């Protein structure tokens, strides 16, 4: 399903019922939509699984509907796989597998430039075919993005002006900016190159799922994660959710509130995969520029969906000291966020200082 999580089906979804499955979190990572990067980050998968499960259980307690069913206890000797599925607190070690409910995910046909809808939405992707196959039990083909701040590196800086949010300056400053109110945006989920959407485009792509319900669900997730982050000493800057539609209800899907799905800060320092993005911008600018050029050039190739075919550079590998510091950031951050010592890692302040100097 993604470049960094593996996906297992236990019982497939049908037109009328949710199925059951597992996410298997790996130590792989992705930046700039590249897919799997050259180096695995030790304990990253377990860190994200632990943090994601913790957030799902917070959402459940707050009455927010999700597809989460528990984690797979890595110390379990159960002979039946389902017997190993437990709440996070009952796992004997950091889990790497999460049990979830499954919905239908039809193919999204791509017809090239000539297949675009009359109003331009889809840019060659046939969302009508997606929904015809999906019926009333499907993964909404959108990402719902929420923002509390505008950190350095946020795409919002290039798309919107401060005045759009009633901020009293003309240009974005070099430091993070707090927004007066959380902002919700919509972007594509299955197109090769993500793009932000108008609310009208998002409403059409969402199908029968109510766009207001999706936005309200995102605000609920944002509220729960922001409150927990503050309790643990973090600032929750922005994040995203994916949603499923089933039986007239939208529910949170995928994973929420981790250092890959969301951006957090601790003592003024980014604690998310933004650390790695910024490292590549400083240390491998030729690759970053080649990625940007390829994403731009694919617009002139109407029959080509994958911009990577136009990229003439490969990313460099992370040096061992950088890899170790990022691994400690994930593990120490998960410990601090959950309030439990799941990992043998330095205190979060020490781990944050290490990535600050990369």
Q: Residue 187 has which token pair?
A: 């972007």
Interval 333-346: pLDDT, tens:
999 999 999 999 99
End-to-end CA distance of the chain: 31
Mean pLDDT of the chain: 92
Residue 151 confidence class, pLDDT cut points 50, 70, 90: confident
Which SS3 state, helix, strand or coil, does residue 5 take?
A: strand
β-pair type (235-246, 249-253)? antiparallel
pLDDT attached to residue 122: 53
Query: What is the mean pLDDT of the segment spanning 159-170?
Result: 90
Interval 53-86: pLDDT, tens:
999 999 999 999 999 999 999 999 988 888 899 9
Interval 305-339: pLDDT, tens:
678 888 889 999 999 999 999 999 999 999 999 99
pLDDT attached to residue 123: 65
Between 171-175, 251-255, 352-356, the lowest mean confidence (pLDDT) is in 171-175
Cα separation, 111 vs 108, in Å, equals 10
Other beta carbons within 10 Å of 77: 7
pLDDT attached to residue 116: 42
Cα separation, 85 vs 90, in Å, equals 9
Cα separation, 142 vs 236, in Å, equals 22
pLDDT attached to residue 305: 65
Residue 302 confidence class, pLDDT cut points 50, 70, 90: low
Q: Please give the angle made by the CA atoms of 312, 272 and 50, to the nearest 5 degrees.
A: 115
Residue pointed to by tokens 């994958």: 306
Residue 110 confidence class, pLDDT cut points 50, 70, 90: confident
**Residues 146 and 182 sit within 8 Å (Cβ to Cβ):** yes
pLDDT attached to residue 240: 95
DSSP class per residue in 292-323: HHHHHHGGG-TT---GGGG----PPPPPHHHH
Q: With a cut of 60, say whether residue 238 has pLDDT above it.
A: yes
Which SS3 state, helix, strand or coil, does residue 33 take?
A: coil
- Bridge partners, residue 238, by sequence: 147, 263
Interval 190-224: pLDDT, tens:
987 789 999 999 999 999 999 999 999 999 999 99
- Bridge partners, residue 240, by sequence: 145
Q: With a cut of 50, say whether residue 118 has pLDDT above it.
A: no
């Amino acid at each position: 399903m993604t470049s960094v999580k593996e996906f297992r089906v236990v019982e497939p979804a049908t037109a009328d019922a949710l199925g059951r499955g597992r996410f298997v979190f790996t130590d792989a990572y992705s930046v700039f939509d590249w897919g799997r990067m050259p180096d695995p980050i030790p304990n990253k998968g377990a860190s994200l699984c632990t943090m994601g499960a913790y957030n799902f259980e917070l959402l459940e307690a707050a009455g927010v509907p999700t597809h989460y069913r528990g984690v797979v206890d890595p110390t379990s000797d159960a002979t039946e796989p389902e017997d190993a599925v437990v709440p996070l607190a009952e796992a004997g070690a950091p889990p790497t597998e999460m049990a979830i409910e499954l919905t239908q995910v039809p193919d999204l046909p791509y017809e090239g430039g000539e297949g675009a809808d009359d109003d331009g939405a889809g840019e060659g992707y046939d969302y009508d075919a997606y929904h015809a196959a999906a019926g009333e039990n499907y993964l909404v083909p959108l990402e719902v993005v929420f923002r509390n701040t505008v950190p350095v590196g946020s795409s919002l800086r290039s798309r919107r002006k401060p005045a759009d949010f009633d901020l009293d300056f003309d240009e974005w400053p070099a430091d993070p900016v707090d927004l007066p109110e959380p902002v919700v945006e919509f972007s594509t989920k299955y197109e090769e190159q993500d793009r932000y959407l108008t609310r009208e485009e998002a409403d059409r792509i969402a199908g029968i799922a109510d766009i207001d319900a999706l936005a309200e669900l995102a605000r609920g997730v944002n509220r729960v994660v922001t409150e927990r982050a503050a309790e643990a000493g973090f600032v929750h800057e922005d994040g995203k959710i994916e949603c499923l539609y089933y039986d007239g209800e939208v529910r949170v899907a995928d994973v929420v509130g981790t250092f890959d799905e969301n951006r957090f800060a601790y003592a003024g320092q980014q604690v998310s995969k933004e650390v790695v993005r910024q490292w590549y911008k400083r240390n491998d600018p030729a690759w970053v520029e080649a990625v940007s050029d390829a994403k731009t050039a694919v617009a002139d190739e109407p029959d080509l969906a994958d911009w990577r075919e136009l990229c003439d550079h490969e990313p460099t590998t992370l040096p061992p000291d950088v890899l170790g510091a990022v691994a400690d950031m994930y593990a120490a951050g998960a410990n601090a966020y959950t309030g439990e010592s799941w990992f043998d890692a330095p205190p979060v302040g020490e781990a944050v200082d290490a990535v600050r100097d990369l």
